[in-house]
Amino acid sequence: MLKRFVVKKSEQGALFRDADFERLLPAGRHHFFDPLGRLSLTTWPLGAPMTDTALADYLLQQQPASATAHLEVMELNEDEAGLRYENDVLVEVLPPGSRRFFWKGRVRHRLQRVDLKDAYVVAPALATHLAQPALRERAIVGLTGLLLVHVPAYHCAVLRVDGKVARLLPPDRHAFWRFNREIQVELVDARWQTMEVSGQEILSRDKVGLRVNLAATWRFSDMLLAFEKLAKPAEHLYRELQFGLRAAVGTRLLDELLDNRQLIDELVSAHVRRKFDGFGVEIGSVGVKDIVLPGEMKAILAKVVEAAKAAEANVIRRREETAATRSLLNTAKVMEDNPTALRLKELETLERVAERIDRISVFGGLEQVLHGLVSLRSA
């Protein structure tokens, strides 16, 4: 019985006898005598992945010439990654040990191998192409095997390979292979930074509870050294600021702290600088923002301040009264020996009295006003 099979120009066909591979069929019409119905045809689109790996392995082992003519074979070992291109467009990132088979024909397939033994940095040109994969018309498959990093301006990034600090990354786009190793990147601000230590409940030396808020500025002077010696430099700095603040407040009396708040700044600053000497961290300014006292202590201090100010005002008032009395005494001595000065003082007094009077009625003439209003008696 005659059987006809048709293989399209966009397909690759394979003839099977009793479900066992017989041979490959090119595009066209094929006629076979098959009285028992033992023959069958399987087709695959040209350029599509060949999913029947068992058939591909058979062709590579038993019919290498046919496999070379019809199959594009991509095989990677355990120390290689691959970049698969279709018509010179990157479409897939292949992990180590991958095997891909494609029928040759309408699509040009190309494999770029990457040695992973020593290299973990992706070439800058490739990193630029991978920077915005979501904007590509066709998504790239397998990007989970790459670590894409964008370091903005005024920042650096600490690169760790298998848990060890490798180097610093400058502001730019970077990409790394994740295969066969652990890659970690920590983004760090290289500018001056502010750290707040707020709400610290501390007992002074005289057992008065205080709540102190502290602020400090800092930056990395040697970022690589800082991350080599300290797992988390910012957290370490926060703890040292706490310890320095407690040491400064806990060993001082309340009056001493309130009289000289700059003392706390100097003590905490000296403590932190001593602790971070040689750790690649530069400490800028350290200062106490405010000291909050308990409610009852505020009332007591308010009374103390009020009493002190009242006593100070009383002293000033007594001093001024003494000075005024002394001045009057000196004036009296001058007038005692000088009638003209006394007369001038009388006129000055009359002028001040006249300033308070809206209307003056004069009887007896001006002479009566000058001599009758104030009686003069010689000593």
- CATH number for the domain spanning 244: value is 3.30.479.30
Task: Give the mean model confidence (pLDDT) for residues 107-123.
Answer: 89
61 has a pLDDT exceeding 60: yes
At which of 262, 293, 324 does a domain end?
Answer: 293
At which of 275, 293, 311 does a domain end?
Answer: 293
At which of 264, 293, 322 does a domain end?
Answer: 293
**What radius of gyration, in Å, describes the C-alpha atoms of the chain?**
49
Cβ-in-10-Å burial (0-12, 13-18, 19+) of 64 comes to exposed
DSSP one-letter code for 182: -
Contacts of residue 268, Cβ cutoff 8 Å, sequence gap at least 6: 214, 216, 241, 244, 245, 248, 286
User: Are 284 and 208 members of one domain?
Assistant: yes
For residue 356, tell me if it sits in a domain: yes
For residue 251, tell me if it sits in a domain: yes
* The pLDDT of residue 303: 65
Question: b/e string for 248-261 if b means 16 or more Cβ within 10 A?
Answer: bbeebebeebeeee
Domain count of the chain? 2
Residue 366: which pLDDT band, with cuts at 50, 70 and 90?
low
* The pLDDT of residue 378: 46
Tokens of 184: 């970690």
Residue range of the domain that includes 242: 193-293
- Among the residue ranges 41-45, 129-133, 214-218, 345-349, the one predicted with the least confidence is 345-349
Q: For residue 166, give the 3-state DSSP assignment.
A: strand
Task: Give the mean model confidence (pLDDT) for residues 290-300.
Answer: 68
For residue 232, tell me if it sits in a domain: yes
217 has a pLDDT exceeding 90: yes
User: Are 342 and 259 members of one domain?
Assistant: no
DSSP one-letter code for 131: S
* The pLDDT of residue 231: 85
Task: Give the mean model confidence (pLDDT) for residues 163-175.
Answer: 90
For residue 354, tell me if it sits in a domain: yes
User: Are 354 and 276 members of one domain?
Assistant: no
* The pLDDT of residue 83: 93
Its sign, for the CA torsion 54, 55, 59, 60, is negative
Residue 364: which pLDDT band, with cuts at 50, 70 and 90?
low
Which of 246, 264, 169, 140 is closest to 202 using CA atoms? 246
User: Are 289 and 349 members of one domain?
Assistant: no
Q: Tell me the pLDDT tens digit for each residue of 232-282.
A: 899 999 999 999 999 888 888 877 887 788 888 999 999 999 999 999 999
For residue 253, tell me if it sits in a domain: yes
Task: Please give the residue that has the higher pLDDT: either 4 or 337.
Answer: 4
For residue 255, tell me if it sits in a domain: yes
Q: For residue 309, give the 3-state DSSP assignment.
A: helix
Packing angle of the helix pair 295-337, 339-355 (nearest 10 deg):
130
Task: Give the mean model confidence (pLDDT) for residues 95-116.
Answer: 90
For residue 85, tell me if it sits in a domain: no
Residue 379: which pLDDT band, with cuts at 50, 70 and 90?
very low
User: Are 207 and 287 members of one domain?
Assistant: yes
**Mean per-residue pLDDT over the chain, rounded:** 84
What percentage of the chain carries pLDDT values higher than 70? 90
For residue 368, tell me if it sits in a domain: yes
**Structure-token match 């397998």, residue found:** 142
376 has a pLDDT exceeding 50: no
* The pLDDT of residue 193: 93
* The pLDDT of residue 298: 60
User: Are 217 and 288 members of one domain?
Assistant: yes
DSSP one-letter code for 18: T
CA distance 105 to 48: 10
344 has a pLDDT exceeding 60: yes
Instruction: State the pTM of this model.
Output: 0.64
Determine the residue type at 60.
Answer: L
